Amino acid sequence: MKYEELISVLKTKWKGKEEHPLTRRDIAKKLGMTGQTLAKWEKSDKDLTPTQVVNILTKANQVAVSNAHLSAVRPIVEIFPITNHKRSAIGEYWDVFDGGKSASGYMQGLKDALQNAHGIYIFYDSRGDALYAGKARKLRIWQEMNNAFNRSRKDVQNVMLVKHPVDSDHFVPSHQSSLQPRSTNQYLYQLVSYFSAYQVDDAMIDDVESLLLRAFPNNLLNVRMERFTADRQVRKQKRETRLKLADSA
């Protein structure tokens, strides 16, 4: 195989995975070399030796691993205050914040970033303690965040509160009334004050969420304890083994 043939195949292979047309510089970066070296390759009429092919593959793999590390987890926003959550267009539904046309450019940009990313989000209470961690793998972070924001789970989101008759025409001191603190179910939007969001590589989203839930099992309001990918694979293999043994019995 000649250098030019290899470059041509790589261009065709990588072309479908890129949003923009690949330039010579893009190809060179993926192969871990300079544009000048690549230009010399394209002009060469020599055949590639096995050693050269191995060197090319090794450098390309090193570049791919480095790029994967850089893009694995990217913070979008951290410990952002929830001060202006608003009614959405869907009736009794709250958006985490107002990112509409009347909002500032910053808020609109934040909403756009969340609408275009998959990953992990975390809600915090007024002291900055994490309350809930969620993932957005199928939907975008903005959609998943708002779904969780409006979620009411009677088993875990209960707080002892007093229901005050604020619409009454007269105030009655507590010592003259029979009002008592009672367990009251709260929506997540009634409990949280801050949020963080991270863009995470699709292949890592499940495991990052599992890590968070297992690292803070007694702090978060999450009900389900997610499993790591490796654990799910082991369980799957065990099930398949049991089925094979049952079939052969």
Kindly report, residue by residue over 95-113, the tens digit of the pLDDT. 999 998 999 999 999 999 9
Q: Which of 64-68, 173-177, 203-207 has the lowest mean pLDDT?
A: 64-68
Q: Over the range 108-122, which residues count as b (16 or more CB within 10 Å of their CB) and which as e?
A: eebbebbeebbbbbb
Task: Quote the tokens at residue 59.
Answer: 């450098």
Q: How many residues does the chain have?
A: 249
Cα separations in angstroms, 215 against 80, 148, 158, 200, 225: 22, 20, 23, 18, 11
Q: Is the pLDDT of residue 146 over 70?
A: yes
Q: How far apart are CA 194 and CA 129, in angstroms?
A: 9
Decide: 125 and 157 in contact? Cβ < 8 Å: no
Q: Is the pLDDT of residue 18 over 60?
A: no
> Taking the model in full, what pTM does it have?
0.73
Taken in order 199, 200, 202, 207, the sign of the CA dihedral is negative
Burial of 106 (0-12, 13-18, 19+ CB in 10 A): exposed
In the structure, what pLDDT confidence band is assigned to residue 145 with cuts at 50, 70 and 90? very high
CA 215 to chain centre: 17
Highest mean pLDDT among 26-40, 194-208, 226-240: 194-208
